[in-house]
Structure 1
Amino acid sequence: MDYRKIMSRFSNAQTQVNASYEIIARKYDLTYNALMILYIIDEDKNITQKNISDILYLSKSTVHSILSSLKKKNYVALAEGDNKKEKYIFLTQEGELFFSTIRKETGIFEKTVLDFIGEENVLLFLEQSERIANYMVTKATEIIVGGAQVED
């Protein structure tokens, strides 16, 4: 099995998925990461900057910079969290109106794509993708960061 070739194909496929969202982001004068952050905020009403950093594997400073930009556009605001350092992030009324258009348009796009693939195939693909992704993070941490030896 050509492991490098398989992983390259896997990576290229994921890059193309992300590129489709990049196209959507550009239409709305956003970056890919800003769009993903808006999705996360929309899905979780108790989300913090640290949560977003952990979900997207971005540094807190990168997330902070993106949130600052979204705040300047009046799309997001902060509310007191469980402690003084923690702040919950939420969509403002203007942000909700802005994002509702994106959500509606993207919903049509996603439904079209997933219907084309079929429910059974989508669920199988999703299950396997999550399995691979979780295992990759575990092994990257063990082998690359931890310095474990790899057998040939």
Structure 2
Amino acid sequence: MLQGKRCAVLFLDRFRELAGDLGRSPQLTPYRAIEEWSEFVDDCVEGYEGTLFEYWDDISIRGFLQRVIDDPVVREVPELEWFKSEVRKADQEFSDLLAQGFEVRGGRGWWERRIPRVGGREMAANVNEQYGYEIDVV
């Protein structure tokens, strides 16, 4: 049992270390980070209301989650399977949403290579200006 607790502590400590290193709060927890990703996906499903700049800032949580998943230290702990499973749940919904959206150049992850087809007025105006796409306004 102690071994399991050590792994859990190692996972949380490494997670928080990565968070601090990558400009996020070192008090961020794995659960809260997954929750942020899931909430962002929900916002996009409803039609993202912020600006395109805010969209790119908010979606950066997914890049952070990927850095955690790819971290060599994290790869050694059993908590990674739980973590990846939870991330995948929101990933599937977001992937389905993006499949109906528009391709954009750049981006390091699949989540950055497309944008949703639906958004608020500011998002729609920004997307039109930046990429020339007419997205549906909610």
TM-score range, shorter chain: under 0.3
TM-score (norm 2): 0.27
| Structure number with bigger Rg | 1
Q: Which structure has the highest helix share of the two?
A: 1
